[in-house]
Chain A
């Protein structure tokens, strides 16, 4: 069985926001670039006014399967990803059962292949059952068909300093990285929102910035001590930025991510007590938002991670304290980053490609993603209409989660097409068909 990749000529797209050029896609790769390319038998996609970018790579996604298929499945989550411009997502390990064995990560990996919308890269748990007591079989997950390189107990901090040290050391054996959810547990017992002026007024238990910053400070020192690679998930405070900047100046091998929602929203929104704004780490202050934008612009923060966290509506239609933490993000990330980084003049589209594709692929060791849009490279390409404006409507999204904090906001930028391995998973802003690989029954319809 042959792959369902065809031949496509993208005509006149602004590559990374630069001069218009044509991209000829054939057999899963970018066959040719230039201007005035002959269409031949190719399907022509007129892309004047559109920006061509490398397919986006999410370093931080919750697909919920196995275990919480009422919240999201690999199928629905990756449809959302494709619509959002993604060609790869890293599926976090806090499923049920936890992705702490080769068996579970291979299951998630094959579900991703069967779905065919994006490359699903399972993240392995650092500790058995995310319990923070004993290392999971990291090597077995690395050697599995899923080829895991990113390990995280995300949702829970690996707070035991000895365990964190061992994990950082151990993953060096297979070029892995530990992605830390930085949250000092004792300082955040019962925490409901950012600790500050707003929490003092609302009477909600505070989640202080120091609980994130103290763990990051410890972890960068540990990473330096054992000579390991550390990734910091969802950085949310100005103080964390300062610590990461300091660590990078000292040559410590640390990368950091920021979520789109932490680039746009502040804890002022919690005044509504609407749990759609409840997330972990919590929404912070405007000073934090500005520091995060500046850090993303100057490279202190390396990548965007959506922390896409769908929840069934009953987990949000309740009292704030009862509500689940998390927000959807795959279908809004591009627009929010355009709004906060490009419309503000902090970013070019080339910068956008760096933080949403190139560097996340490097962190996750996804070798065929995040590549330049050049001849001979894998055809993972997204076409964006930067002039489009749209109003966020969660009920119209492909994700099963309706918990978008951007509901009702008008945002710039629309994904027009997504090419995954040379096949258009999204065309004309709507889902097309999934990619079907060659010579395999995996994913056969």
Chain B
């Protein structure tokens, strides 16, 4: 793996390797000194062309726990807003010796452009591009689901996938990079995915995706789900006639108190409720659902740091071992930087 641009081109082996590595990284977060020397002397640039404080600080925490130097480059208020091109920005970062660029961009495909041109030779991590993909979000979601799924199975999560898990992803699929990344990754890991959305918020072409599609939230719940992932819906969408009103949206597709109760009625005691945040409480998810014991919202945030540590570590450590050779637990406890890394 040279870059992390999408989950669509992520093999099952690579995906499991990232998740397994993230488990080890999670152990670091439980220690008193939450830091590894693995990326000492390496420079990670957070290049954000779009505001996203939570994603940026998650990557920042991940890089710092690995002892990397972190530069935050917010395109707003920088030379970019004065018209500097992505190419010039990339070449500037290359000249400054960036080893990895974590890029968030409003334009779909911008990370691909960085990775496929000769503008910069750094590892590129897609931190969300337009309405295309958000691979680390999907990985942290899968990590969260895998812990839950393997706990139910009474097995460890190392090496496990999501075979047989039924996942519903509900909301504005059309504009969601989170939905896309999750559909590809969850499918790769063996889960059965159902998208639930108004027809206006599903892309033309979705019938070719490796998942089921439903317009009916209640029927989807009745058929049985192990995880329900609610997507953020922008209220302004109603101005473009994607739905008539926020209230109608909430009634038909929101995860409200009635639907929270129906999980109990239907006997689905282990079903979890997920949300990538930030939430619109009262629109796509009710407060009772967001704060219920089923909710994994905060676990997702916590796991995000571990998954991003794993991604940075695997891309920057020069570790090209096959998944089978994934180091066992404790490998990182005293991980000294390699000769190359210490230069």
Contacts and interface: CB of A to CB of B under 8 A. Distances in A.
Interface of A: 192, 195-206, 208, 272-274, 314, 317-322
Contacts of A201: 8, 180, 205, 209
B184 to A, nearest CB: 9
A199 B107 contact: no
A320 B117 CA distance: 13
Contacts of B302: none
B272 to A, nearest CB: 26
B86 interface: yes
Interface string B172-214: 0000010010000000000000000000000111101100000
A208 B206 CA distance: 15
B137 to A, nearest CB: 14
B116 A273 contact: yes
B204 A196 contact: yes
A408 B219 CA distance: 52
A208 B204 contact: yes
B84 to A, nearest CB: 11
Q: Which 7 A-B pairs have the closest CB atoms?
A: A273-B109, A200-B205, A203-B132, A203-B131, A200-B203, A319-B107, A197-B205
A198 B205 contact: yes
A203 B180 contact: yes
B103 to A, nearest CB: 11
B130 interface: yes
A197 B113 contact: no
Interface of B: 8, 85-87, 105-110, 112-113, 116-117, 129-133, 177, 180, 203-206, 208-209
Contacts of B133: 203
Contact of A321 (B108, B112, B177, B204): B108
Nearest to B202: A200
Contact of A204 (B85, B105, B108, B209): B108
Residue of A202, A205, A206 most packed against chain B (CB within 10 A): A202
Contact of A273 (B85, B112, B203, B206): B112
Contacts of A202: 108-109, 132
Contacts of A318: 85-87, 113
Given A196-B204, A319-B110, 14 more contacts: A195-B204, A195-B205, A200-B203, A200-B208, A203-B108, A203-B132, A272-B116, A314-B85, A317-B87, A319-B109, A320-B107, A320-B109, A321-B107, A322-B86
Contacts of A205: 131
Nearest to B205: A200
A199 B132 CA distance: 9
Most buried by A among B132, B180, B205, B206: B205
Contacts of B206: 200
A408 B211 CA distance: 37
A395 to B, nearest CB: 15
Contacts of A197: 205, 208
Nearest to B173: A200
A199 B203 CA distance: 8
Nearest to B117: A317
Contacts of A206: 203-204
Contacts of B8: 201
> Which of A197, A200, A206 gathers most chain B CB within 10 Å?
A200
A321 B180 CA distance: 19
B301 to A, nearest CB: 24
Contacts of B110: 319-320
Nearest to A321: B107
A317 B88 CA distance: 10
A202 B108 CA distance: 7
Nearest to A192: B108
B109 A204 contact: yes
A15 B283 CA distance: 72
Nearest to A198: B205
15 contacts: A192-B108, A197-B205, A200-B203, A200-B208, A203-B129, A204-B108, A204-B109, A204-B131, A204-B132, A206-B203, A273-B109, A314-B85, A317-B117, A320-B107, A320-B109
A318 B86 CA distance: 6
B204 A272 contact: no
A272 to B, nearest CB: 7
Contacts of A204: 108-109, 130-132
B131 to A, nearest CB: 4
Contacts of B108: 192, 202-204, 273, 320-321
B107 A317 contact: no
Contacts of A272: 112, 116
Contacts of A314: 85
Given A197-B205, A319-B109, A319-B113, A203 B85 contact: no
A195 B208 CA distance: 13
A163 B106 CA distance: 37
Question: Most A CB atoms within 10 A — which of B87, B204, B206, B208?
Answer: B204
Considering residues B106, B109, B132, which has the most beta carbons from chain A within 10 angstroms of its beta carbon? Answer: B109
B341 to A, nearest CB: 31
A126 B180 CA distance: 43
A318 B116 CA distance: 12
Nearest to A270: B109
Nearest to B130: A203
B204 A319 contact: no
Given A201-B180, A274-B116, A319 B205 contact: no
